[in-house]
Amino acid sequence: MVFRRINSSVPASPPPPNPAAQEAEIDARVRAALAMLRDEAQAQGLAKGEAEGRASYTAKTQALDDAAKALRAAAAQLAAPLAQKETELAELATNLAMIIARHVIGVEAIARPEGLARLVAQLLEEAAAERAPRQSLVLTLHPEDAKPVQELLDLQTVTLRHDAAIERGGARVELLWPDGDPVNRTEWDATLPSRLAAVAASLGLPETPAPADEFAEEEAS
């Protein structure tokens, strides 16, 4: 007899779930999700904070630049008149020094004629070194300076001339040819205006001499 075997047995059911294991798995998944959310939030916050920080830094930097520009502009506005005042004061002080120097030289010529004599001696020495055989050596002084200088120097080889237009303390030495040609003459100008003009030129300022009469009045007083 042919037959087939039919297995009619019922399969075994799976074991019941473990509540503790399920709870642990759920907790792990929740923790992982929370960690992911936390990291994402932190990244977004940092990006936002960096952007805000950059914006704040840029704004503060611009404000500082504006303040610095304003300070520099204010300093320039203040410095300009101060520089002008300094220049004016420097010119005033220099002009005052020139006036005082002119007066002192004139007074020194009266009180100490030896100073003028030394100046004249130096001029005559330089002129004599350049003197040609036919040239005459001419010294021009203020009339009141001529006598004391004559007493201090040997002027036998010098032609002495008086000129009241030359201020006290000044002198002029010339090398002249017999024909008296003014073009072919050599001059050493040590008059007060010339000496003070040289001082002013060395200081880079224009020399503005006071009239001789003013100092003549001062010396007379």
Q: Which two tokens stand for residue 54?
A: 């950059």
Stronger pLDDT, 30 or 111, i.e. the higher one: 111
Predicted confidence (pLDDT) at residue 8 exceeds the cutoff of 60: no
Q: Which two tokens stand for residue 206?
A: 């224009």
pLDDT grade for 193, boundaries at 50, 70 and 90: confident
pTM above 0.85, yes or no: no
pLDDT score recorded for residue 69: 72
DSSP line for 75-127: HHHHHHHHHHHHHHHHHHHHHHHHHHHHHHHHHHHHH-HHHHHHHHHHHHHHH
pLDDT score recorded for residue 50: 60
pLDDT grade for 66, boundaries at 50, 70 and 90: confident
Q: How would you classify the pairing of strands 186-190 and 171-176?
A: antiparallel
118-177 pLDDT, tens digit per residue, is: 999 999 999 999 988 888 999 999 999 999 999 888 888 899 999 999 998 899 999 998
Q: In whole angstroms, give the CA distance from residue 135 to residue 187.
A: 12
pLDDT score recorded for residue 212: 44
Stronger pLDDT, 81 or 3, i.e. the higher one: 81
Stronger pLDDT, 209 or 54, i.e. the higher one: 54
Predicted confidence (pLDDT) at residue 199 exceeds the cutoff of 70: yes
Bridge partners of 174?
138, 187
* DSSP H/E element including 132: none
Q: Which two tokens stand for residue 49?
A: 């904070």
Class level of CATH domain 93-220: alpha beta
Domain ranges in the chain are: 93-220
Q: In whole angstroms, give the CA distance from residue 178 to residue 135.
A: 7
Stronger pLDDT, 74 or 122, i.e. the higher one: 122
Q: How would you classify the pairing of strands 136-141 and 159-162?
A: parallel
Q: In whole angstroms, give the CA distance from residue 100 to residue 136.
A: 35
State the Cα torsion 161-163-168-171 to the nearest 10°: -50
Count the helices and strands in the chain (H runs, E runs): 5, 4
17-57 pLDDT, tens digit per residue, is: 555 566 666 666 656 665 666 666 566 665 556 666 566 66
Q: How far is CA 21 from CA 16, 17, 18, 24, 26, in A?
A: 12, 8, 5, 5, 9
- 169 close to 144: Cβ distance less than 8 angstroms: no
pLDDT score recorded for residue 123: 93
